[in-house]
Amino acid sequence: MFTQVLLIALSLIPAGASTGFTDHRGREILKTNVCGAGTYADVKSGVPYVNVDTCSLSKLPRVVATWVQLHEVSHHLLGHLDLPKITKLEEAQADCLALSLMKHHGDLSKAKLERLGTYLTKIPGDATHEPGPIRFLNALGCSLLLTGDSK
């Protein structure tokens, strides 16, 4: 499925190569890999990229790692990195789009959704992220609205 290919592709492609996605302005989103630096989206010298921390992601269930990577790609797709600061609202939007992409491409069985929910509900909130249970429920509700699918 699409997101399984994404997970494999982002983990295997070399740093500096295209992720296969373009941002909201049509620019290719590149991939970097800095082990231990976290998985995050950024723009450097006008070039959008997603750092994929394969050291950390390899310890997570595959559905969680896929969602994390799609969450960061979603920040680029939604234009969040043009903002002065990403807020809880933008984080919720990226959560929603990541889950919607997984559902839309058929890579979110009930069992995978339960694994993702179990993981997310253990995450505490911070200055820009709601606590995990709220994030999961918001993303789930939003993705139902976007995909029109009650599965």
Of 46 and 16, more confident: 46
Tell me the residue range of the domain where 93 lies: 2-147
- Count H helices and E strands in the chain, helices first: 6, 4
Rounded CA separation 10/20 (Å): 9
Rounded CA separation 19/32 (Å): 10
Q: Report how many domains make up the chain.
A: 1
Q: Which helix (H) or strand (E) holds 42?
A: strand 40-44
pLDDT tens per residue across span 3-14: 444 554 556 666
Q: Which helix (H) or strand (E) holds 31?
A: strand 28-32
Of 17 and 150, more confident: 17
pTM for the whole thing?
0.86
DSSP string, 112-143: HHHHHHHHHTTPPP-SSS--HHHHHHHHHHHH
